Amino acid sequence: MSVALIEPFDRWFLSLSKDSGTTCRNDCYTKCGGFDKLNHRNANLLDSLFFCMTNENVEFIPLPGTKISENRKSSKIRRVLGIDPGLANTGFGVVDCWKGKYRMVSYGVIETNADKPHGERLLTIYSRLQAVIDEFKPEEACMEALFFAKNVTSAISVAEAKGVVTLCLAQNVIPLSEYKPNQIKKAVTGTASADKELVEKYVQLLLNLDVKPQPDHAADALAGAICHLHSSNLQ
């Protein structure tokens, strides 16, 4: 059952289950400031929405005069999966954006054992990334563009991991964007010459985290997700 979301109450409805019932309805009234601060029309609107959410066979019918936009880009929560590919460690970070505000959903690292066969390590990256996608269901993805330094062997292994990641995203029909390292640094900190420590500090501040995200690969993935959201919001 799909329920159209109506401004300004959609932020609470997104997290409701059909079993929420009266408790969540009353909580919502409380967050609005209580019955005395809700006009009669909005109170009826809340009751109508909760009734629809707690009854599977009831189709939502908006109140007369209510303006509804089913695909309002400005109020839609965007979920982005940032990825920092690597054969030994592939970092990932899932970030939500709603009306310009960021929220960390999850982050971590996919590790592979150097003692395992090469193909098995790549398969581990693929299968665990697929598990992340299945759990968090991102709509967009991004990762850092390859930067070839002097260590060619390391660059090749990163390229292989990136290929596996790209394949996994393509099979799940998730659009992928790539950003240069300097683009990510500038989007997150405001300067393209920022070091890793400064990037981690800004990621912590922007996502309102209690501590800096660790390890580095996960922090880089979160930074990439923030860069993507910031860049696409400016378009």
**Other C-beta atoms within 10 Å of 109: how many?**
19
Q: What gap in Å lies between CA 81 and CA 63, rounded to an integer?
A: 37
Residues 62 and 116 in one domain: no
Residues 14 and 109 in one domain: no
Q: End of a domain among 55, 72, 89?
A: 72
pLDDT of residue 233: 65
pLDDT reading at 109 higher than 90:
yes
Packing angle, helices 181-189 and 216-233, rounded to 10: 80
Cβ within 8 Å of residue 153, ≥6 positions away: none
Residues 36 and 149 in one domain: no
Residues 38 and 63 in one domain: yes
Residues 118 and 167 in one domain: yes
Residues 82 and 42 in one domain: no
Cβ within 8 Å of residue 25, ≥6 positions away: 46, 47, 50
Residue 149 lies in a domain: yes
Q: In the chain, what percentage of residues exceed pLDDT 70? A: 64
- Average pLDDT over all residues of the chain: 75
Residue of 96, 140, 200, 217 with catalytic role: 217
Q: End of a domain among 48, 72, 96?
A: 72
pLDDT of residue 184: 95
pLDDT, tens digit (0-9, with 9 covering 90-100), for 31-70 = 444 433 334 334 443 443 333 333 334 333 434 443 333 3
Residue 2 lies in a domain: no
Q: What gap in Å lies between CA 49 and CA 2, rounded to an integer?
A: 11
Residues 66 and 81 in one domain: no
Structure-model confidence comparison of residues 122 and 26, the more confident one: 122
Q: What gap in Å lies between CA 156 and CA 166, rounded to an integer?
A: 15
Q: In the chain, what percentage of residues exceed pLDDT 90? A: 55
Residue 128 lies in a domain: yes
Cβ within 8 Å of residue 1, ≥6 positions away: 52, 56, 59
Residues 131 and 60 in one domain: no
CATH number at residue 110: 3.30.420.10
pLDDT reading at 175 higher than 90:
yes
Q: In terms of residue numbers, what domain contains 21?
A: 10-72
Residue 159 lies in a domain: yes
Residues 192 and 224 in one domain: yes
Please report the sign of the dihedral spanned by the C-alpha atoms of residue 52, residue 57, residue 58, residue 59: positive
Residue 97 lies in a domain: yes
Residue of 84, 96, 140, 160 with catalytic role: 84
Residues 31 and 134 in one domain: no
pLDDT of residue 202: 94
pLDDT of residue 150: 62
Mean pLDDT for 64-87 is 66
In this structure, of 77-91, 151-165, 185-199, the range with the lowest mean pLDDT score is 151-165
pLDDT reading at 6 higher than 70:
no
Structure-model confidence comparison of residues 145 and 110, the more confident one: 110
Is residue 115 very low, low, confident or very high in pLDDT (cuts 50, 70, 90)? very high
Residue 5 lies in a domain: no
Residue of 96, 140, 144, 160 with catalytic role: 144
pLDDT of residue 148: 63
Residues 101 and 117 in one domain: yes
Residues 68 and 82 in one domain: no
Q: Is 217 a catalytic residue?
A: yes
Residue 3 lies in a domain: no
Given a contact cutoff of 8 angstroms between Cβ atoms, the answer to whether 87 and 161 are in contact is yes
Q: Is 144 a catalytic residue?
A: yes
Q: How many domains does the chain have?
A: 2
Q: End of a domain among 72, 104, 121?
A: 72
pTM over 0.75: no
Residue-wise DSSP of the chain: ------TTTHHHHTT--TT-HHHHHHHHHHHTT-GGGS-HHHHHHHHHHHHHHT-TTPPP-PPTT----TT-GGGSPEEEEEEE--SSEEEEEEEEEETTEEEEEEEEEEE--TTS-HHHHHHHHHHHHHHHHHHH--SEEEEEPP---S-HHHHHHHHHHHHHHHHHHHHTT--EEEE-HHHHHHHHHS-TT--HHHHHHHHHHHTT-SS--SSHHHHHHHHHHHHHHHHHHT-
- Chain mean position to CA 73: 15
